[in-house]
Amino acid sequence: DTGVSQNPRHKITKRGQNVTFRCDPISEHNRLYWYRQTLGQGPEFLTYFQNEAQLEKSRLLSDRFSAERPKGSFSTLEIQRTEQGDSAMYLCASSLGTGFDTDTQYFGPGTRLTVL
Amino acid sequence: QKEVEQDPGPLSVPEGAIVSLNCTYSNSAFQYFMWYRQYSRKGPELLMYTYSSGNKEDGRFTAQVDKSSKYISLFIRDSQPSDSATYLCAMSGNTGGFKTIFGAGTRLFVKA
């Protein structure tokens, strides 16, 4: 297994455009998380999935953001009508998630978004 | 006030020094404590994972958790230039979900 992968690695877009990012978790990992990280800050939780169910969303996730995980495999994060404040690194992580406790999350390399 | 506080540094030490990194937190529900290392423009990489209070050692790294003081530490012995990175503390627990809260990260520079 090659770990968590994210595509694209970099995205430059103009304000107002829509963007979509993809995350492929480690195979057999049931939980998938999305985070946003800005310069000089730690990752901020956005949302997570247990299999295909989206179980928690941060208030950071405005109505312009939507995430899906069809069939409990890969996930997509879409940002509509991008704003300059959306410029950040978007990180995906996955974990086994077979129990009722927190378990170890493994991160992907991230997608760096720049909104001009 | 943030749930997790971490001094952003930067922290600069000579090669071979013992490095001490710390975080404080406010939510007593946290039970799982992690330390991640992040190189520039890369995703975080898990270093240590501790449940509840106590110490855990892995090679040159030692993690300590003091739940009574809401204080966690990471010690790096015999630091190397390759340890230069940002170190993020993270924690989660009985907060009604599996959300993990990260500190802002401490930038560490180990000089050869």
Mean pLDDT of chain A: 92
pLDDT beyond 80 at A2: no
Cα separation of the two ends of chain B: 37
Amino acid found at B25: Y
Residues of A in contact with B9 (CB under 8 A): none
- Chain B closest-CA separation from residue A45 CA (Å): 7
Query: Rounded distance, CA B95 to CA B58, Å?
Result: 28
3-state helix, strand, coil in chain B (%, to 5): 5, 60, 40
Contacts of A21 (CB under 8 A, 6+ apart): A6, A7, A8, A11, A76, A77, A78, A90, A92, A111, A113
Query: Rounded distance, CA B43 to CA B36, Å?
Result: 10
Please, which pLDDT band fits residue A71 given cuts at 50, 70 and 90?
A: confident
Instruction: Select the residue from A96, A102, A111 to test the B interface by mutation, using most B Cβ atoms within 10 A.
Output: A102
Model confidence pLDDT, tens digit, residues B8-66 = 889 999 999 999 999 999 988 888 899 999 998 889 999 998 888 889 999 999 999 99
pLDDT beyond 90 at A108: yes
Is the Cβ of A97 closer than 8 Å to some Cβ of chain B?
A: yes
Residue B10 vs residue A71, higher pLDDT: B10
